[in-house]
Amino acid sequence: MINRIREIRRAKGLTLADLALACDPPTTAQTIGRLETGTRTLSTKWMDRIGVALEVDPQTLVRSEAQPRPRVIGELGLSDVAALANPREAVLPHELAQGVSEEPPLVLEVTAAVSEYRPGDLIWLRQVPLGEAASAINRDCLVPKPGGRFVFGRLIDTAPKGDGALVGVLPVQSGQKQQVIDTPPWIAVTQMLVRKL
């Protein structure tokens, strides 16, 4: 089992010291760091203390190696979606942690104000096979392009082409032209927007 203390702490914008002080009774930043890295055993007592301090169910602090994990795979900016060289784990809001599907969601982090999206927004997407793309028409989607790149925007058209399909996407960035992607392996449809208040 791997603990998720660091990911959840960072998603909530807390430092090691902040989390240490939020524990009841308070502990040290060094102890929290050791629990995060696994150099100190994460007992059920520690899980309860840290869960209360992070305002999450203590069970969300651990996950199995085999359990699929949602990942932040790109950043949406003013010009395009930049793929992350090292995708990082995304943390679901506590209320939604129970509803994770078999296939882990993909997540885009917004880094600049683009269309209705604001910096800091997390766009959660659900992958669908190319054959089901027609159900995503007029919805914001992420589509992989050759070379490990992506386009994010309104899915406006799908057309069969041999064994595959041509997919038309209108990027959300202003002034961009429609992009046509030839037979992408999948399309990810927007499912949820997480915005910190």
For residue 98, what is the domain's CATH number?
A: 2.10.109
Confidence of residue 101 (pLDDT cuts 50, 70, 90): very low
Indicate whether 18 and 48 sit together in one domain. yes
Of the two residues 32 and 165, the one the predictor is more confident about is 32
Record the tokens describing residue 32, joined without a space: 């929290």
The answer to whether residues 57 and 106 belong to one domain is: no
CA angle 155/95/111 to nearest 5° reads 45
Residues 51 and 96 placed together within one structural domain of the fold: no
120 shares a domain with 81: yes
First CA to last CA across the chain, in angstroms? 32
Q: Is this model's pTM higher than 0.75 or not? A: no
- 100 pLDDT more than 70: no
Among the residue ranges 20-24, 69-73, 102-106, 126-130, the one predicted with the least confidence is 102-106
DSSP 8-state assignment for residue 191: E
Residues 13 and 59 grouped into a single domain: yes
Structure confidence at residue 98 (pLDDT): 40
Q: Are residues 79 and 34 in the same domain?
A: no
Q: Residue 43 in 3-state DSSP?
A: coil
Instruction: Give CA angle at 96 (91, 102), nearest 5°.
Output: 80
Express the helix, strand and coil content of the chain in percent, nearest 5 each: 25, 40, 35
Provide the pLDDT for residue 67.
62
Question: Has residue 92 got a pLDDT over 80?
Answer: no
In the listed set 63, 81, 100, which residue is the last one of a domain according to the structure? 63
Mean pLDDT to the nearest integer, 111-123: 90
Domain that holds residue 56: 2-63
Q: Are residues 38 and 92 in the same domain?
A: no
Regarding whether 99 and 59 lie in a shared domain, the answer is no
Is the same domain home to 59 and 80? no
Domain count, the chain: 2
The reply to whether 99 and 121 lie within a common domain is: yes
37 and 129 belong to one structural domain: no
**Interatomic CA distance for residues 175 and 135, integer angstroms:** 26
Strands 81-89 and 71-76: antiparallel
Confidence of residue 49 (pLDDT cuts 50, 70, 90): very high
Asked whether residue 72 carries a pLDDT value surpassing 80, the answer given is: yes
My answer on whether 77 and 130 are in the same domain is yes
What lies within 8 Å, CB to CB, of 155 at 6+ separation is 133, 136, 137, 138, 139, 140, 141, 143, 167, 168, 169, 187, 189
